[in-house]
Amino acid sequence: MDFIMLSCKKRFKKSLKIVFAAIIFFIVSILSFSAKSEFLAIGNLKIVRQEPLVIKSEDLNITIEKNGIIKVNSVYVFQNIGNYNVKSTFMFWLDTNVEKTGKEDFSNKNTNNRGKFVQNIKFLANRKKAQNLRAVIKFDENIYQNQIMDNIQREWFAISKVIPPQEEGKIVVRYDLANTGFSRNKDFVYSFDLVDNFFNKNKTEALNINIYNKSNLKIKSINFKDYKFRNVSKSNTKEYYELAKNEVNLDGRLVIKFK
């Protein structure tokens, strides 16, 4: 009987060691995975080639939730000032550091970060749901202060839409951003930088930006083209900033810094 009890105790201790080792390995894997893949910036909607499209307005709403999720809702109104149907591809992009692995992974699961940062993407074209397309490229540039390495991965998310001549078209883009690390890096970057393919070089007749902060971190500053955001917060627990400007060139970066 004592022999059986002793044997059981040895197996139990061995099992505990295995479980403990597995937990340590799991934690180390998470930490190393996080270090290899870092959110850098998200870009707003652009088009692939030059078209006679005027940006009538852009309404950008950014909500920072308590759980660290950042919800982005963008509403764009375009007008076709040409005399032919414009079928263009509208897209936005996400920049991250590339995960390094021992071998190339073509499974579309891990190395391209599918679903790690951008989640719940919804496109609406004139109030109708539209299917988005996705592509991934890699490029070597030092364009971010907080990037870990030179090799940057850019993911494109896009839809196509037809706008008849002399008519307006509306596109709504909604998505959630996770694992951005804003609480660690103390900043969040929304970029307007890209090629000038709209008429008048990406100038919008009206730009409205609303930023809602429900997180535990307070906003230190909001920087975009030296514009001053109005603090219209109604409580100490929820911050609300807004910007309304006309005739704005959509370039540069919107940077939200936290305390």
What's the confidence (pLDDT) of residue 72?
Answer: 97
CA distance 221 to 239: 12
Tell me: the pLDDT tens digits for 21-33? 433 333 333 333 3
Q: Which domains does the chain have, with CATH numbers?
A: 37-258 (2.60.40.3680)
* Of 168, 208, 209, 190, residue with least CA distance to 251: 190
CA distance 123 to 133: 10
Tell me: the pLDDT tens digits for 191-221? 998 778 999 888 999 999 999 999 999 999 9
3-state secondary structure of 100: coil
CA distance 39 to 236: 29
Question: What is the pTM for the complete model shown?
Answer: 0.79
Tell me: the pLDDT tens digits for 43-85? 999 998 899 999 999 999 999 999 999 999 999 999 999 999 9
